[in-house]
């Protein structure tokens, strides 16, 4: 290969790496915003549920009674939400680490200049098959999967808790068939007539 052609290819490879860095930064910002939205969603679910549990008697009246296991379901939901929040924090840490490793490798490729620029050197950096980038990506993938599972669990428990509170609020107003009377909330104790 002629020297001038090799130099031109090396310059183009360097330019490709330089152009990829702003894309990488923008991708990191977008992913970070998405993670922040996930954390906000978990926080709002827990805040709404906490408001419901703390204010249920003032909303539905003083005669409303909830069994202990209704409160325990809320407690498990809150615990799952706290764990999901922690897992999303781990995703943020892994995301920052992965971004830093990839950006550092690309900057190193650019700084080393045209003397060592080859397509075989750039491709693993762009695709993510470089050992350091692959290790950071694997940690990010594991943390992201855990956060997603905990967020799903929180949402399912949130829905179950809302359904339970809704059932206990509505069930006394409807006539239930005998098979469902075990599921109905206890009726308030009648006050003795003096």
pLDDT tens-digit profile of 114-171?
A: 677 777 888 888 888 889 999 999 999 999 999 999 999 999 999 998 888 888 777 7
pTM for this predicted structure: 0.75
Residue 176 DSSP label: P
pLDDT tens-digit profile of 153-166?
A: 999 999 998 888 88
SS3 string, 44-99, reads HHHHHHHHHHHHHHHHHCCCCCCCHHHHHHHHHHHHHHHHHHHHHHHHHHHHHHHH
Q: Which two tokens stand for residue 149?
A: 């599972």
Q: Where along the chain do its domains lie? A: 3-172
């Amino acid at each position: 290969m002629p020297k001038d052609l090799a130099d031109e290819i090396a310059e183009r490879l360097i330019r490709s790496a330089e152009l990829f860095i702003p894309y990488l930064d923008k991708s990191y910002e977008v992913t970070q915003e998405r993670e922040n939205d996930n954390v906000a969603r978990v926080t709002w679910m827990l805040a709404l549920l906490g408001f419901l549990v703390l204010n249920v008697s003032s909303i539905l009246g003083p005669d409303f009674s909830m069994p202990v296991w209704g409160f325990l379901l809320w407690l498990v939901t809150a615990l799952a939400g706290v764990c999901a929040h922690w897992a999303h924090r781990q995703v943020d840490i892994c995301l920052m680490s992965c971004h830093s490793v990839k950006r550092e490798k690309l900057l190193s490729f650019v700084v080393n200049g045209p003397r060592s620029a080859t397509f075989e050197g750039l491709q693993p950096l762009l695709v993510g098959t470089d050992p350091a980038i692959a290790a950071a990506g694997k940690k990010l993938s594991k943390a992201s999967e855990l956060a997603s599972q905990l967020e799903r669990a929180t949402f399912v428990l949130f829905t179950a808790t809302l359904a339970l509170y809704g059932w206990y609020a509505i069930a006394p107003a409807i006539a239930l068939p005998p098979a469902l009377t075990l599921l109905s909330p206890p009726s308030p104790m009648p006050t003795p007539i003096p």
